[in-house]
Amino acid sequence: MVEPSEERTSESDDRDGLSESVESVDAHTTDRRTLSPRVQIAWAVRVLASVSILAVIGRFVAPRVGVDPQLIAGGALALAVLGLVWVHLRFRVWEFQVRDDALYLERGVVTTVRTVAPHVRIQHVDTSRGPIERVLGLSTLVVYTAGSRGADVSIPGLTPAEASDLQGRVKELAIEAEGGDAL
Amino acid sequence: MRLDGRTIPYRVLANGVRLGGVVVFGVATAGSSETGTILSPTLVGVVALGVLSIVGWELTRFRRFGYDLTEETVDIRSGVFSRRNREIPYERIQNVDIAQNAVQRILGISEVRLETAGGGSTEARLRYVDAAEADRLQEVISRRKRGTTTDKSTGEAEETLLFELSAREHLVLGVVSADLRLLGLLSIGLPAVAPRLAQGFGSGFDLVSLFGPAIALIAIVGFWGLSGALQVLRYYGFRLTRLGDELRYERGLFQRFGGTVPLSKVQTVMLRENVLARRLGYASLSIQTAGYAPGSGDSNVESAVPIAERDRALALARDVEPFGDLSFTRPPTRARTRYAVRYALAVLGLTGVLWLGSAVTGLLALWYVPLAALPAVPIAAHLAWTHRGYYADEDYVVTRNGFWRRETIVVPYERVQTVASSQTVFQRRRDLGTVTIDTAGGGGLGNGNAVAVDIDASVADQLRETVAKRLQSALAASSHPSPASPSKTTRK
């Protein structure tokens, strides 16, 4: 995990040099945070749903292809276990941080991706809640930039309070960021 | 203002052709036994009704369409059932393209397309206006855009010719534009098809083995010639000019395309060289603005300059983005091993699939032919590795990838949107990583994004942070409060 902290102070110096803006920027940044553990339930539900659909399909197809249905059940079970392991690992890896010049995300099990989304590039910030998330009391923060992967920057598994708090912070930092229009 | 009157017959014709096709199909498949039904009154009546409704629809659509150039905006009113009023401010218009296909050229009308930064498809289309009116619109919008930016010095700028495709370059374009994927297809198709043909011919087997390769060669050359000729037609008479802060291009023999590229909205610059072009010392240049790549109404390979000598293309690129000399850092050699393993597995996988196919169907006698490609794997891996690289200096980050079609993408730091470093499981094992630099230009499906692939993992992390940091300092250095993008002169 690369987190050069010296970068922060040089960045502050590059700005107007007014101590007020430095302080207000610092007021909005956060340290490294993780998602709410409940998000694992949401992911597990999706994984189990997919596995059971596959199992049902397998059950229908198996007799025609001459495969023992019990093999299908065993395979589905193995897949489910693997899926749950993946869900937990995914939760363990997920981290985000509101830095003074960008939003930083770290995620992914099979492919780990570390994304830096500068505040000055953020067009707008949405919160969204799917049905499963609503039941669990979670929401997702979606950050849009002008890049071709616009909605790639999204943080799931936040409580609604956390999500609107983050939305506020990112909005404030985006407004304070220099650079004119986000193109 | 209204569209040109010739729009109605053209649209009726275009829709009529479509309808005619359906009718012909229906007649052909329906009562073929009774010839009397072809000219039956009901059928004629239905067709006549269809034609009348098309004419009526187009007339209404024509009457309901209007456009205006006001002081600040382009206003467009359209829609028959659901009315639509659109106002597009001049400074938000990125590109103004003019398109004309063969029939439209004969009629003297063209289509005007306005692009803004939002959305991947054309924002507004005027179908169709008089050809001279289209040029006038392009001119007026251009002028009004210049008037609204803070840089007033381009008031009475002249149009300078930057580049014009010479006869020789037309020829090179044709030669170089072969679709090389065909070779791949043939290498898979031949082992599958040839033995069957041989069996089918029986006693004439010797003839087939003699003519087989010749036929294949003719097919390759034929496809090559065809794709080359199409490309030449598409870019016939290509001209690139500069007017103030805008680049303009026009091209095409039967279908004419013309457009404007505002230099202040340029996101990245890409140099494309396929393997043939590289050998001949030629390259093509592509300039990407936010929203879409220029001329993408065609959805094929888009270029600002379709083909030019490499030095010339580089010089033109530097006119747009003044980058310095490029010296690329290649991925570590363990990446090369990775490619060798990957290609070897692909060849073995293909062989396995063919073997399975032959085991099941008993037809593919030559399933082992792909194995002949194995000795080429280390060479292929080395070539893929050689042509990869990245380069980062104070103002630009540049990436390069590809052997068959090498793409060199120059990204000024202030155009970077997000930057991400990623590692797949396999990359983690070899301590490698990939850095993706996302920009607002180019097609969204990963086409045109600058990617530094398979570099050392810690270097990848560093590069990610460096690019993000330099983005901030580039923006701070050229900070302008105006809504238009910062002008080039203040950028270091």
pLDDT digits (tens, 9 = 90+) for B84-96: 888 888 877 877 8
| pLDDT surpasses 50 at B486 | no
* Predicted pLDDT at B485: 42
Give B401 to chain A, closest Cα distance, Å: 19
Does residue A148 carry a pLDDT above 70?
no
Q: Residue B175: pLDDT above 80?
A: yes
B433 vs A147, B339, B385, B425, CA distance in Å? Answer: 21, 14, 14, 10
For residues B488 and B474, give the distance between their C-alpha atoms in angstroms, rounded to a whole number: 12
User: What is the predicted pLDDT for the residue at A91?
Assistant: 96
pLDDT of residue B300: 29
Amino acid (1-letter code) at residue A162: E
* B450 within 8 A of B464, measured Cβ to Cβ: no
Q: Does the pLDDT of residue B1 top 50, yes or no? A: yes
Instruction: Show the beta-strand stretches assigned E in B206-335.
Output: 239-243, 246-251, 256-262, 266-274, 282-289, 305-309
The dihedral formed by the CA atoms of B345, B348, B353 and B359, expressed in degrees to the nearest 10: -150
- Residues A33-37 have a mean pLDDT of 92
Instruction: Tell whether B443 lies on the interface with A, counting CB pairs under 8 A.
Output: yes
Q: Which pLDDT score is estimated for B336?
A: 93
* Stretch B383-405: mean pLDDT: 93
**Does the structure show a pLDDT above 50 at B492?**
no
Per-residue pLDDT, B48: 82
Query: Is cis: bond before B90, omega within 30 of 0?
Result: no
- Percent of chain B scoring above 90 in pLDDT: 29
Q: Is B277 helix (H, G, I), strand (E, B) or coil?
A: helix
Residues of B in contact with A14 (CB under 8 A): 472-473, 476
Return the structure tokens found at B427: 């990359």
B159 vs B90, B138, B139, B248, B308, CA distance in Å?
A: 20, 14, 12, 9, 21
Tens-place pLDDT, residues B107-144: 899 999 888 766 556 678 898 899 999 989 988 888 88
Decide if A111 and B461 are in contact by the 8 Å CB cutoff: no
Question: Which residue would you say has higher pLDDT here, B60 or B492?
Answer: B60
Mean pLDDT of the residues in chain A: 81
Residues of B in contact with A121 (CB under 8 A): 416-418
* CA separation for the pair B54, A131 (Å, rounded): 45
Choose the mutation target among B292, B422, B427, B438 for the interface with A, i.e. most A CBs under 10 Å. Answer: B438
Q: Tell whether the model's pLDDT for residue A16 goes beyond 80.
A: no
Please enumerate in sequence order all residues whose Cβ is within 8 A of that of B302, keeping only pairs 6 or more positions apart, or say none. Answer: B286, B293, B294, B295, B296
C-beta separation of B175 from B276 below 8 A: yes
Beta-carbon contacts of B27 under 8 Å, excluding residues fewer than 6 positions away, are: B38, B43
- Most A-contacting residue of B416, B417, B454, B462 (CB-CB within 10 A), to test interface: B417
Strands (E), B345-429: 389-392, 396-401, 405-412, 416-423
**Averaged over B203-221, what is the pLDDT?**
68
Tokens matching residue B213: 């390769």
Pair B125, B61: CB distance under 8 Å: no
Rounded to the nearest 5°, which phi and psi values hold at B64? -85, 0
Q: Which of B421, B422, B472, B482 to mutate to test the interface with A (most CBs of A within 10 A)?
A: B472
Mean pLDDT is lowest, of B237-251, B287-301, B397-411, for B287-301
Question: Closest Cα partner for B435 from B398, B400, B461?
Answer: B461
Q: How far apart are CA A135 and CA A129, in angstroms?
A: 10
Q: Indicate if the pLDDT at residue B311 is higher than 90.
A: yes
CA separation, residue A49 to residues A81, A83, A137, B142 (Å)? 13, 11, 20, 55
B266 half-sphere exposure, CB direction, 13 A CA radius: 26
The percent of residues above 70 in pLDDT, for chain A, comes to 81
Question: Rounded to whole angstroms, how far apart are CA atoms B33 and B206?
Answer: 46
Which one of A112, A147, A183 has the shortest CB-CB distance to B422? A112
Q: Quick one: pLDDT at residue B115? A: 80
Residue A177 structure tokens: 């960021």
The whole-number average pLDDT for the span B312-330 is 91
pLDDT at B196 over 70: no
pLDDT in tens, B239-275: 999 888 888 888 888 888 888 888 888 888 999 998 8
- Note the pLDDT of residue A14: 47
CB contact under 8 A, A178 and B420: no
Q: Band of the pLDDT at B195, cuts 50, 70, 90?
A: low
User: Which chain B residues in 453-472 lie under 8 Å from chain A, judged by CB atoms?
Assistant: 458, 461-462, 464-465, 467-469, 471-472
Contact check, Cβ <8 Å, A153/B468: no
Residue B299 has pLDDT above 60, yes or no: no
**Given CA atoms B179, B406, B451, B267 in this order, what sign does their dihedral have?**
negative
Angstrom distance (rounded) from CA A70 to CA B480: 69
Contact A179 B425 (CB under 8 A): no
Give the position of tokens 């060798």. B340
Q: Which two tokens stand for residue B283?
A: 């390259």
The span from the CA of B385 to the CA of B456, in Å, is 14
% of residues, chain B, pLDDT over 70: 79
**Radius of gyration, CA atoms only, chain A:** 21
CA–CA dist A117, A96 (Å, integer) = 11
The region of weakest confidence among B57-61, B219-223, B300-304, B464-468 is B300-304
Task: Enumerate the residues of chain A whose CB falls inside 8 A of the CB of residue B416.
Answer: 118, 121
Q: How far apart are CA B304 and CA B284, in angstroms?
A: 8
Cα–Cα distance measured from residue B450 to residue B409, given in angstroms and rounded to the nearest whole number: 6
pLDDT of residue B454: 94
Q: Write out pLDDT tens, residues A95-110.
A: 999 998 899 999 999 9
Strands B266-274 and B282-289, sheet pairing: antiparallel
Cβ-defined contact of B423 to A111 (cutoff 8 Å):
yes
pLDDT for position B89 = 84
Sign of the alpha-carbon dihedral angle for A13, A18, A21, A26: positive
Q: Which residue of B has its CA nearest to A1?
A: B461
Residue window 324-363, chain B: list those with CB within 8 Å of chain A. none
What is the arrangement of strands in the sheet containing B124-130, beginning at the earlier edge strand?
Answer: B124-130, B109-116, B93-100, B256-262, B246-251, B239-243, B159-164
Choose the closest CB to A181 out of B422, B445, B483.
Answer: B483
Q: What residues have CB less than 8 Å from B310, skipping those under 6 apart?
A: B273, B281, B282, B283
pLDDT(B293) > 50: no
Q: How confident is the model at residue B379 (pLDDT cuts 50, 70, 90)?
A: very high
Q: Write down the pLDDT at residue B298.
A: 35
List all residues 6 or more positions away from B221 whose beta carbon is below 8 Å from its beta carbon: none
Cα separation of B363 and B361, whole Å?
5
Residue A8: its pLDDT value, please?
Answer: 47
Distance (Å) from the C-alpha of residue B423 to the closest C-alpha of chain A? 5
Q: Which residues pair with B405 in a beta bridge?
A: B274
Q: Where are the beta strands (DSSP E) in B319-441?
A: 389-392, 396-401, 405-412, 416-423, 432-439
B425 touching chain A per CB within 8 A: yes
Question: Residue B120 phi/psi, 5° resolution?
Answer: -90, -5
Burial class (CB in 10 A: 0-12, 13-18, 19+), B466: middle
**Continuous segment of H or E residues that includes residue B104:** helix B102-107
Query: Do A116 and B418 lie within an 8 Å CB cutoff?
Result: yes
**pLDDT tier at B221, thresholds 50, 70, 90:** confident
Which residues of chain B lie closer than 8 angstroms to A15, CB-CB? 476
Tell me the shortest Cα–Cα distance from A136 to chain B, in angstroms.
Answer: 30
**pLDDT higher than 50, residue B294:** no
Contact: A113, B422; criterion CB under 8 Å:
yes
Q: How confident is the model at residue A151 (pLDDT cuts 50, 70, 90)?
A: low
Phi, psi of B298 (to 5 degrees): -90, -20
Q: Are B450 and B271 within 8 A, CB to CB? A: no
**Selection from A176, A179, A127 nearest residue A151 by Cα:** A127
Model pLDDT, residue B146: 74
Average pLDDT over residues A61-87: 86
- Of B17, B37, B40, B18, the closest CA to residue B29 belongs to B37
Per mean pLDDT, which range of B148-157, B175-184, B370-379, B471-480 is the poorest?
B148-157
Task: Decide if the complex's ipTM is over 0.95.
Answer: no
CA distance B80 to chain A (A): 33
User: How confident is residue B328, by pLDDT bands cut at 50, 70 and 90?
Assistant: very high
Nearest to A145 among B417, B441, B482 (CB): B417
- Which pLDDT band holds residue A25 (cuts at 50, 70, 90)? low
Chain A residues with CB under 8 Å of B423 CB are: 111-112
Q: Which residues of A touch B (CB under 8 A)?
A: 2, 4, 7, 11, 14-15, 101-102, 108, 110-118, 120-121, 145-149, 152-153, 178-181, 183
